Amino acid sequence: MADRKVRAIGLLSGGLDSLLAHALMRAQGIEVRAINFYTGFCILETQRRLGRKRPDGSTPRNDALQAGATLETEVELVDLSGPDYLRVVTHPKYGYGANANPCIDCRIFMFSKAREIMEQEGYDFVFTGEVLGQRPKSQRRDPMRVIDRDSGLEGRLLRPLSAKLLEPTLPEKEGLVDRERLLDISGRSRKPQMELARQLGITEYPQPAGGCCFLTDETFGRRFHDLMRRKAERRLEQEEVILLATGRHFALGPNAKLVVSRNETENLLLLQYTEGRYALEAKGVNGPIALVEGEPDERQRELASRIVGRYGKGKDLERVAIEWRRGGESTEVAVEPYRSEAEFEKLRI
């Protein structure tokens, strides 16, 4: 090891892998700056920021901050959820995974930001908790090489959990990191990581639940690609990200879409995004708030009204009046609510 103090940027997602990577680096006496990047698509963090509750009434926690508490280290939260990142999502150079996840481009973007901090503030290298072969899109050898190259971190990006299975990085060659104390974990099994956590006395960490990114979610992915097909330009606004993750979505036609809330929290949320959209609500009975995007024709107005009526307390009435509001103007559409979801299931996005 070098005589001088070695300093590294560590990306801390809050999952077990990144937590262990930080523990391994600190065990070598390396000064670690823990950074968590927020892209605007993290499910738990987005729910936390919106004030949404879990089914048991608790508030979702920030896993990165919890990991920082476990490591007894400060965690710097860096918000990347701006136009530059949204362009990565809509125009990924290396394409999407199974849903709307541009995993390779996402990592290149985040690691480039980490490189900027590394260079500006004199850190020696960047490390992550990535495990070779754990993710099919971005954690194979070839994509890893592309990520290293395109982020500008080639030779300076260390993956401690799989380092012995990969080419030595510059920090290893320069003696800043002891390669013999790094690991050779690969694949999707978490047993090696769980055993290492036990050895290190780490007992609290989040269990895997299919990822924490909306972009990897099948439903969100369908809605995202549907939205892109509807737009003349492949542009995504931050408020559209929130709406894609909210409520039930229905295609009324090529140029009109309906979003129906699922609970009181979503009612309040949708009311924040009525500008430029129709806001729908049943009159005289409790029910959901809904938004319609686009310019629906008369048939589509009836479709939307019947769906909104179906999800309210007036679903068993012969007719329900649905109020349509936009820009200070209001009209009503009296309809027979759909009697079952099966009648309009084919419209669901």
Here the CATH number for the domain that contains residue 155 is 3.40.50.620
54, 121: one domain: yes
Q: Which domain holds residue 277?
A: 246-347
The predicted model gives 98-117 an average pLDDT of: 97
The predicted model gives 34-60 an average pLDDT of: 81
Q: How confident is the model at residue 136 (pLDDT cuts 50, 70, 90)?
A: confident
136, 196: one domain: yes
Q: What is the tens place of the pLDDT at every residue in 285-306? A: 999 999 999 999 999 999 999 9
pLDDT of residue 211: 55
3-state secondary structure of 175: coil
- DSSP conformation class of 129: -
Mean pLDDT of the chain: 93
pLDDT of residue 2: 57
Q: Does any domain span residue 238? A: no
284, 172: one domain: no
Taking alpha carbons only, the member of 9, 5, 7, 19 closest to residue 197 is 19
Q: Does any domain span residue 278? A: yes
186, 250: one domain: no
The helix (H) or strand (E) run that includes residue 330 is strand 329-335
pLDDT of residue 319: 97
Q: Does any domain span residue 195? A: yes
The predicted model gives 33-52 an average pLDDT of: 84
pLDDT > 70: percent of the chain: 97
pLDDT of residue 57 exceeding 80, the answer is no
204, 271: one domain: no
pLDDT of residue 51 exceeding 90, the answer is no
Which tokens belong to 315? 């679903």
Taking alpha carbons only, the member of 168, 186, 35, 24 closest to residue 112 is 35
Q: Which residues does 233 contact at the CB level (< 8 Å), separation at least 6?
A: none
- DSSP conformation class of 221: H
Q: Which residues does 133 contact at the CB level (< 8 Å), separation at least 6?
A: 139, 140, 186, 187, 188
- Measured from the Cβ of residue 148, the count of other Cβ atoms closer than 10 Å reads 21
Contact 50, 242 (CB under 8 A): yes
Q: Across the strands, what pairs with 36? A: 77
Contact 303, 344 (CB under 8 A): yes
pLDDT of residue 47: 75
154, 254: one domain: no
69, 145: one domain: yes
pLDDT > 90: percent of the chain: 86
Calpha distance 256→293 (Å, rounded)? 6
Calpha distance 259→288 (Å, rounded)? 10
Q: What is the tens place of the pLDDT at every residue in 192-248? A: 999 999 999 998 887 765 458 999 999 999 999 999 999 989 999 999 999 999 999
The predicted model gives 257-276 an average pLDDT of: 95
Taking alpha carbons only, the member of 298, 107, 226 closest to residue 243 is 226
Rg (CA), the chain: 24
Query: Which of 71-107 are b and which e, b meaning 16 or more Cβ less than 10 Å from the residue's Cβ?
Result: beeebeeeebbeeebbebbbebebebbebbbbbbbbb
pLDDT of residue 48: 75
300, 205: one domain: no
Q: Give the total number of structural domains in the chain.
A: 2
